[in-house]
Chain A
Amino acid sequence: MSKDAPIVHVVDDDASFLSAISRLLRASGFSVKTYSSAHEFLAQHDAATPGCVLADLHMPKMNGLDLQSVLDQTANPLPIVFLTGHGDIPSSVRAMRGGAEDFLEKTGPKKKLVEAVTRALTRDSREREARARRRELRARFDTLTERELEVLSHVVRGQLNKQIAGDLGIHERTVKLHRTAITTKLKVQSVAELTSLTQEAGIFPLPFPKGQ
């Protein structure tokens, strides 16, 4: 994971506007990279670097909405803020539904622009952390054997060892052994911690019953 400063990627086919807005963003303290088309951006894009996208909605070949749907397919989709010469409702609705951070007019107030970019970067870093944590948890759960996962599913449902042994047709002692292996591998101390971790990792699709 890169510890680099987040970058604002500005994509616009209008060179004049592109240089003007990058000046403003730099003067406002952001790291900026400019691209004259969506293709150029995608070619240079490194999903590992945090940041956000500021794209013109109306561009030849691939427009802003197309770019948004391509970005959504990547491992680390960057939040996107759209810019447009004038707002038209159907496009803005589509953009917001697609998860756009904001939808701004090019001649809109500077304050709104800076706020939107800041918000997009914050969201990116938050989502990035959540994704990293989830990946790390998954890695931990991946070390469990199938039997251990089976036992875990019963444990998080709040069943006692005797019940689990009955259900799985194994000795109660064996259940205890499995539980010890699980807590060691997942680096947890209590059943409560185990339950919340399992929930966070999204391992089991079933809703968890109340903890003990």
Chain B
Amino acid sequence: MCPDEERSQPPMSLITIIWSMSASACLTLGGISFLIWCRNRTALSNLVFSLLALGASAWTICELWMMRAATPVEFATVLRWGHVAVWLIVVSLVGFVHFYLHSGRSWLAWTICGVRTLLLVVNFVVGKNLNYLEVTRLGHMRLLGESVVIPEGVHNPWILLGQLNLVMLIIFLVDASVTTWRRGDRARAITVGGSIVFYVLVSTAQSLFTFYGIVRLPYVGTVFFIGLIAVLGFELSGETIRASQLDRRVREVEAGLHEIEERMTLAVESADFGIWIRDLVRNEIWATDKWRALFGFPEAERLEFNRILDRIHSEDRDTFISAHKKATEGDGSYETEYRVVLPSGEVRWIGSRGRAELDDAGKPILVRGVSHDISGRKLAELESRELRKEIAHVDRVSMMGQLASALAHEINQPLGAILRNAEAAELFLQSASPDLDEIRAILADIRKDDQRAGTVIERMRTLLRRQTLDKRPVDVGELVGEVIALVRPDAIARRVKLELAVADHLPRVFGDAVHLQQVLLNLIVNGMDAIDEAKPGDRRIRVIASLSGAQAVSITVSDSGRGIPADILTHIFDPFFTTKPKGMGMGLPICRTIIELHNGRLWAENRPEGGASFQFTLSTAEQTVTK
């Protein structure tokens, strides 16, 4: 170490310490802010702040260098590059105000940045730098016990634009601060806006005074910038703290939501409801464990709509699909009942209701539904229906039985009398001298009793005929549909599949709907009995309604039973002919009578593919009316 140098440059240089510490402090704060931005790319104010800090740091180094410049050329060159830092400071300051305070007039902001960029170009093109066309000599002064450089030279006229630019920046900042204040964000307006205005104002003033030689000082903007960086850094750290507080709040809210979800789940599970949500956009299905249990899906298995559809009983699938269509394409909600067949083969009745959620365009995006097991209720329903049917049957049988019994008694009285009289007459005639008066009396009695028997029969016939038909135009589709709905529970209980095929645009028929339904009901129930007797694997009844010729509609009920033996086929419409242990043998004769009273025909035949088919025709309403 040279002792001469030690004298001219004290070992403890305060300027070096202050300026280099300022530069590194700016870099540190900027670095931290930059890292924050790296982890959260939406925190643009942090990015802008780090650029500001970088610019301030660079300018600090330039200042230190300029204070120690050995030649005018060196000073001019450093100042020229220092303007890059100034550009960065101005632009990032504008950006910071924009991103952090969300205020300031954008046209002013763009103008400031544009002018500053123009000045940067001028800085490199005109003269030595923006300040000086030529630095003529370097003067010296003492600062903090050290000798520092003060420049002298020819001023660059563009510097006036630079000064105007700084004034514009101050106006921009004041305007932005005022806007922030008025918006009600007063703390920020003061700490951020106020401090920026203050530091920019004083640093501009200092540089102007220095430039015009009013104050003999080197460029010491650093002193002010470090204050600005410190204030803004503090403000941003507060932001980080707020972010973490917000994060905690979010966590609390999430915990609350979880609690609500738990309660919901508890309520839903204790009510034995299963919940499922079908996301139509992502084509995903989510369901609670209870729902999975209802449908027999293991917990881990991925749910797909088609796989759920497979679980649904084949006869109820259409019902299920149309319910969902109603929700997604219709009024947005559905309510339905269907059967689910579990992998074990167990069948379960499910009641389900739900609602679709629509996006702004009215397009369904998801469907939420709740399902629960209604097997118990369904079973009870079926049982009560069965019971009702049984009671009705017993009623009918006993009524018919009483009728038949009364008829037999009434008829047997005169028949018995006739028989006994005839037998008595025979005995009288066997005697040697028959009492002819007695025999005449007997014959008169026989005639009387015969008339009596005839009267009884006539009375019965009038009694049975008293039922009159109330004929009016009837929609065949509705007629058949109502009967199908009526027998469906029985059919399900008896595991018989009902198929219905009604031709489109069928004309209405002219008849008594109640009596016609009775006929259809009778034929369908007969069909089910035939299936039960035969016990075939294929258990189905098909009801077909179609146009028969121009003026008649034909309705066919065919079953998959064994068919009707040929020797019986000709008798099935005879009164009191029955093959059933409990049968009265009156069903088919009554059916035929009803159809004939409608001017139609009812007949039976065996189908070539097996089973029997009963068909009847009815004339259309139009045809009957014109007749």
A85 touches B410 (CB 8 A): yes
A85 touches B417 (CB 8 A): no
A58 touches B409 (CB 8 A): yes
- The answer to whether the Cβ of A17 comes within 8 Å of any Cβ in the partner chain is yes
- The answer to whether the Cβ of B413 comes within 8 Å of any Cβ in the partner chain is yes
Contact segment of B107-115, B317-325, B358-366, B420-428: B420-428
A16 touches B449 (CB 8 A): yes
Closest Cβ of chain A: how far from B403's Cβ, in Å? 13
A85 touches B419 (CB 8 A): no
User: Which range holds the interface residue count of chain B?
Assistant: 20 to 34
- The answer to whether the Cβ of A115 comes within 8 Å of any Cβ in the partner chain is no
Q: 8 Å CB contacts to B: which residues of A137-170?
A: none
List residues of chain A with CB within 8 A of the CB of B423. Answer: 24, 27, 110
What separation, in Å, do the CA atoms of A20 and B420 have in the docked complex?
A: 5
What separation, in Å, do the CA atoms of A20 and B438 have in the docked complex?
A: 11
Given the interface pairs A16-B413, A17-B413, the reply to whether A107 lies near B419 with Cβ below 8 Å is yes
Q: 8 Å CB contacts to A: which residues of B410-458?
A: 410-421, 423-424, 427-428, 438, 442, 445, 448-449, 452
Tally of chain A residues near chain B (CB < 8 A): 20
What separation, in Å, do the CA atoms of A161 and B452 have in the docked complex?
A: 78
List residues of chain B with CB within 8 A of the CB of A21. Answer: 416-417, 420
B413 touches A20 (CB 8 A): no
Partner of B417, one of A17, A28, A105: A17
What separation, in Å, do the CA atoms of A26 and B411 have in the docked complex?
A: 25
Partner of A106, one of B416, B421, B424: B416
B416 touches A86 (CB 8 A): no
Q: Which residue of A lies closest to B419 (CB)?
A: A107
What separation, in Å, do the CA atoms of A27 and B420 have in the docked complex?
A: 11
B413 touches A86 (CB 8 A): no
- The answer to whether the Cβ of A88 comes within 8 Å of any Cβ in the partner chain is yes
A20 touches B445 (CB 8 A): yes
Closest Cβ of chain B: how far from A60's Cβ, in Å? 13
Q: Which residue of A lies closest to B431 (CB)?
A: A27
B421 touches A85 (CB 8 A): no
What separation, in Å, do the CA atoms of A130 and B555 have in the docked complex?
A: 75
Task: Give A97-134 as 1s and 0s: 1 = Cβ < 8 Å from B's Cβ atoms.
Answer: 00000000111001000000000000000000000000
Given the interface pairs A16-B413, A28-B427, A110-B423, the reply to whether A23 lies near B438 with Cβ below 8 Å is yes
B445 touches A19 (CB 8 A): yes
B421 touches A24 (CB 8 A): yes
Given the interface pairs A16-B445, A20-B445, A23-B438, the reply to whether A105 lies near B421 with Cβ below 8 Å is no
- The answer to whether the Cβ of A72 comes within 8 Å of any Cβ in the partner chain is no
A24 touches B427 (CB 8 A): yes
B408 touches A20 (CB 8 A): no
Closest Cβ of chain A: how far from B440's Cβ, in Å? 12
A16 touches B409 (CB 8 A): no
Q: Which residue of B lies closest to A21 (CB)?
A: B420
A20 touches B421 (CB 8 A): yes
- The answer to whether the Cβ of A14 comes within 8 Å of any Cβ in the partner chain is yes
Which of B409, B416, B424, B448 is packed against the most chain A CB atoms within 10 Å?
B416
**Dominant secondary structure of chain B at its interface with chain A:** helix
Q: Which residue of A lies closest to B420 (CB)?
A: A20
Given the interface pairs A17-B416, A107-B419, the reply to whether A86 lies near B445 with Cβ below 8 Å is no
Q: 8 Å CB contacts to B: which residues of A68-89?
A: 83, 85-86, 88
- The answer to whether the Cβ of B384 comes within 8 Å of any Cβ in the partner chain is no
Q: Which residue of B lies closest to A114 (CB)?
A: B423
What separation, in Å, do the CA atoms of A110 and B413 have in the docked complex?
A: 15
A85 touches B424 (CB 8 A): no
Partner of B405, one of A26, A88, A106: A88
A85 touches B428 (CB 8 A): no
Q: 8 Å CB contacts to A: which residues of B2-58?
A: none
Closest Cβ of chain B: how far from A58's Cβ, in Å? 6
A16 touches B452 (CB 8 A): yes
List residues of chain A with CB within 8 A of the CB of B409. Answer: 58, 85-86
A107 touches B421 (CB 8 A): no
List residues of chain B with CB within 8 A of the CB of A17. Answer: 413-414, 416-417, 420
What separation, in Å, do the CA atoms of A28 and B442 have in the docked complex?
A: 15
Q: 8 Å CB contacts to B: which residues of A42-101?
A: 58, 83, 85-86, 88
Closest Cβ of chain A: how far from B610's Cβ, in Å? 40
Given the interface pairs A20-B421, A27-B424, the reply to whether A85 lies near B416 with Cβ below 8 Å is yes
List residues of chain B with CB within 8 A of the CB of A83. Answer: 416
Which of B423, B438, B448, B452 is packed against the most chain A CB atoms within 10 Å?
B423
B412 touches A107 (CB 8 A): yes
Given the interface pairs A16-B452, A86-B405, the reply to whether A24 lies near B416 with Cβ below 8 Å is no
List residues of chain B with CB within 8 A of the CB of A110. Answer: 419-420, 423
Which of A23, A28, A107 is packed against the most chain B CB atoms within 10 Å?
A23
Q: 8 Å CB contacts to B: which residues of A12-36?
A: 14, 16-17, 19-21, 23-24, 26-28
A85 touches B449 (CB 8 A): no
List residues of chain A with CB within 8 A of the CB of B428. Answer: 27
List residues of chain B with CB within 8 A of the CB of A28. Answer: 427
Closest Cβ of chain A: how far from B363's Cβ, in Å? 73
List residues of chain A with CB within 8 A of the CB of B438. Answer: 23
Q: 8 Å CB contacts to A: which residues of B371-418?
A: 405, 408-418
What separation, in Å, do the CA atoms of A16 and B448 have in the docked complex?
A: 9
List residues of chain A with CB within 8 A of the CB of B411. Answer: 85
Partner of B412, one of A19, A23, A26, A106: A106
Partner of A16, one of B405, B408, B417, B424: B417
Closest Cβ of chain A: how far from B510's Cβ, in Å? 42
What separation, in Å, do the CA atoms of A16 and B421 have in the docked complex?
A: 10
B420 touches A24 (CB 8 A): yes
What separation, in Å, do the CA atoms of A83 and B445 have in the docked complex?
A: 20
What separation, in Å, do the CA atoms of A113 and B404 have in the docked complex?
A: 25
What separation, in Å, do the CA atoms of A105 and B427 have in the docked complex?
A: 21
List residues of chain A with CB within 8 A of the CB of B442. Answer: 20, 23
A27 touches B427 (CB 8 A): yes
What separation, in Å, do the CA atoms of A208 and B296 have in the docked complex?
A: 81
What separation, in Å, do the CA atoms of A59 and B409 have in the docked complex?
A: 11
Given the interface pairs A27-B427, A110-B423, the reply to whether A20 lies near B405 with Cβ below 8 Å is no
Partner of B420, one of A23, A85, A86: A23
A20 touches B412 (CB 8 A): no
Closest Cβ of chain A: how far from B154's Cβ, in Å? 143
What separation, in Å, do the CA atoms of A47 and B414 have in the docked complex?
A: 32
Other than A16-B448, A23-B420, A107-B416, give 4 A-B pairs with Cβ distance below 8 A: A20-B417, A20-B449, A106-B416, A106-B417
A-B complex: 3 closest residue pairs judged by Cβ atoms: A106-B416, A85-B412, A27-B427
Sampled A-B contacts (19; CB under 8 Å): A16-B413, A16-B452, A17-B414, A20-B420, A20-B445, A20-B449, A21-B420, A24-B420, A26-B424, A27-B427, A28-B427, A83-B416, A85-B409, A106-B416, A106-B419, A106-B420, A107-B415, A107-B419, A110-B420
**A residues adjacent to B (C-beta < 8 A):** 14, 16-17, 19-21, 23-24, 26-28, 58, 83, 85-86, 88, 105-107, 110
